[in-house]
Amino acid sequence: MINHWCYEIEPWCLRETELDLDVLAQSESVFTLSNGHIGWRANLDEGDPHGIPGSYLNGVHELRPLPYAEAGYGYPQDDQVMINVTNGKVIRLLVDDEPFDLRYGELHSHERTLDFRTGLLRRDLEWSSPSHQRVRVTSTRMVSMVQRSVAAIRYEVEAVGQPVHIVVQSELVANEPLPTSSDDPRESWVLEAPWQAELHDHEGARCALVHRTTLSQLMVAAAMDHVFEGPPSVNLASESRDNLGRVTITVALEPGERLVLDKFVTYGWSSERTRDALRDQVDAALSSALVKGWDGLVAEQREFFDDFWARADVEVDGDPEIQQAVRFSLFHVLQAGARAERRGIGAKGLTGTGYDGHTFWDTETFVLPVLTYSAPSTVADALAWRHSTLAIAEERARVLGFAGAAFPWRTITGAECSGYWPAGTAAFHVNADVADAVIRYLNATDDRSFESNFGLEILVSTARLWTSLGHYDRQGGFCIDGVTGPDEYSAIADNNLYTNLMAQCNLTGAADVAERNPERAHEFGVDEDEIAAWRHVADAMVVRFDEEHGVHEQAERFTSHQRWDFAATTAEQYPLLLHFPYFDLYRKQVVKQADLVLAMYRCGDSFSAEEKAANFAYYEALTVRDSSLSACIQSVVAAEVGQLDLAYDYLAEAALIDLGDLQHNTRDGLHIASLAGTWIALVGGLACMRERSGSLAFAPRLPNGITRLAFGIVFRGRRLRVETTPRATTYSLTAGAPLELFHFGEPFSLSEGGPVVFETRPVEESLPTMPRPTQPFGRAPARRLATKPDQLEGT
């Protein structure tokens, strides 16, 4: 576990006041800088010691054959694995010929600060060499949100107390050795030395390396250049070879004198462009960065983040830890998608190689909702990437014997990479999740150009999948059999409720968009009969209800299965998938992650308030949260059914998953979907924001311990701000045309003329009082209020 004592709780930054080498890999993840195109883990400048070296480019991968003891028709043949690219972070320091290494000499102080407002990672330290030569080092690192291909470091060394002779070696390093992998399937498979050298050169303070992968045949170019200032005695030399470019700076410093080095690093990659073209590309990016200079890059970075926070900030009063966590979460979600630009957003973003860097349904269901209402242009790019993979998805559907498109369970390029078909191929709900993200984006932006050029074709292809995948039963109901829903502990089930309801929304949405774009729909072969068929299937979709238990069934006959023996399961046996066979999990009532509960959030109009409360209580007793995707959704529905304290508990679990290393695998990268879930739990849960008839509806309530919640939303070209306290909720339009919203079902108009204020309704006014649901033995979330007695008084 990450020790909380080394992280200060501050509203706008994450500050590490001591360096703990035992959790170095975790800290490398949480302090990662990225722009969605470049990802730099927070390895120490000097390279050693390190947990997991990490420099990534979105989409850069190597192939790995998938071994099968018994292969079958339609099985994917290759995996795609995100790999470490050329490392441009390394700046080694020698003090009077002794290498700066935190494990030797004496470290007097060490502090790292990630500033959410500027996007800068700053490191301040003082160190004495074994021969007692003391230096002060300040390093400030950035990955530019504006210059997509640029990252930069300002590195400063100051002599303290006596003269020193220093050598600084700034490097580009390829084919770094990596730690070995474990048996945990959530970790990345390590590929040793995946790069073949194509070119290396150097001139003055500039070096460049070009490499190609062996199997995927992707070419990557990296270049660096430097600007420095210091005493006149500074000497510079450069060199390069296959896997190394190095610029060496030598200088003597008197006490108080400093060497200031600005290092600019640029990247480019392609599967088609030539070596020379890539080299020219990174040189041009370097030239642009040098013209801007360090100060110019920092200024435009701050302007970028100022604009983001002005429209998207979330304020939480009463719980400083959650306040810090939600900004930490928004910062990393933005980093994951800001400049991804028609590439996938992986489950770990570009913070580590957990899950091999693959993109899952997490993106559309958890990450894109946040970006839709805060940075919508990034969502258009993410969905345009899905559209670019349609041909692969359509071929996959054809191989499986279906019409339309079958999007992959896990992928980098669009090809299916899951070798375990019950959790991969059978999880057809990913197609509805993609469609749901398209529909949400269109409702939130009214982007008709995207609708015509990208959205319609995605919706048509996914709708066609459902009509060919399902069938009508004898009673005329439409059934979808043999699929796996979000709960991966219940595979190959008939009529998974989440899948059926999301398919229903997909079909209806496709019909609506096709009718709005008849000529464009005709180009895809859509006619009135097909649209009518989609609507008929949607109307006939089977939804199973268990009258005996008074709840909906997660899937056909699920509530009649034997319950898992939770009392006999020890804390050390979670997550269950690492200690029990899937065969046993599949045939028991045990839920890995919110499934039917997620359906109640995404398809809430399909349930009454009473059904939601009964369903939530029943499935709470079965859900073990072996997935990081669960807590935020349980928080949302807990809030909706009036369990505000429980919603608070789950909110904290989602928010602190990486700051507290709650799943013990933050070292492999951040849980981007759970971090996005922090926003979902606050805005979708406590504020109860829902899409409604082309508008937004709210029903805010706060738990004890949170005294105020305020957040910004971007919607159809407007910017609005919602602020709620235990006494009142205030809606303000900060930019854009008047807008109609709903407050507890009551419509009202909002304009820039002034805010609209409502009294906050108490829970008991609209919801029946219900006892707190129970969870499986040993799996209840940590009680948030029990650890915060100082904040209960006066709330």
d(CA 159, CA 147): 33
Tell me the three state secondary structure of residue 417: coil
Listed residue (683, 678, 685, 546) closest to 619, CA to CA: 546
State the sign of the Cα–Cα–Cα–Cα dihedral 115, 119, 124, 129. Answer: positive
d(CA 665, CA 24): 12
Q: Contact, 383 vs 444, CB < 8 A?
A: no
Q: In 177-303, at which residue ranges do the beta strands (DSSP E only) sit?
A: 195-203, 206-213, 219-229, 235-241, 244-253, 258-270
| Cβ-based neighbours of 787, under 8 Å, separated by 6 or more | none
d(CA 330, CA 99): 38
Tell me the three state secondary structure of residue 335: helix
d(CA 695, CA 749): 11
Phi, psi of 392 (to 5 degrees): -65, -40
For the CA atoms of 44, 48, 50, 56, the dihedral, rounded to the nearest 10 degrees, stands at 60
- Any idea what the Cα angle at residue 468 is, between residues 463 and 472, rounded to 5°? 105
d(CA 481, CA 39): 41
State the sign of the Cα–Cα–Cα–Cα dihedral 391, 392, 396, 397. Answer: negative
- What single string gives the DSSP state of each residue in 644-709? HHHHHHHHHHHHTTTTTTTTS-GGG---HHHHHHHHIIIIIIIS--EEETTEEEE-----TT--EE
d(CA 665, CA 673): 14
Interior/surface letters 582-600, b for 16+ CB within 10 angstroms, e for the rest: eeebbebbbbbbbbbbbbb
Is 488 part of the annotated catalytic residue set? Answer: yes
Q: Contact, 240 vs 201, CB < 8 A?
A: yes
Residue type present at position 29: S
d(CA 544, CA 548): 12
Is beta strand 746-750 parallel, antiparallel or unpaired with respect to 708-715?
Answer: unpaired
Catalytic position from the list 16, 488, 530, 653: 488
Peptide bond into 49 cis (omega under 30): yes
Phi, psi of 650 (to 5 degrees): -70, -35
| Cβ-based neighbours of 344, under 8 Å, separated by 6 or more | 58, 59, 359, 363, 382, 385, 411, 412
- What single string gives the DSSP state of each residue in 74-104? T---EEEEE----B---EEEEETTEE--TTS
Is beta strand 562-563 parallel, antiparallel or unpaired with respect to 588-589?
Answer: parallel
Residue 160 bridge partners (DSSP)? 134
Give catalytic residue positions.
Answer: 488
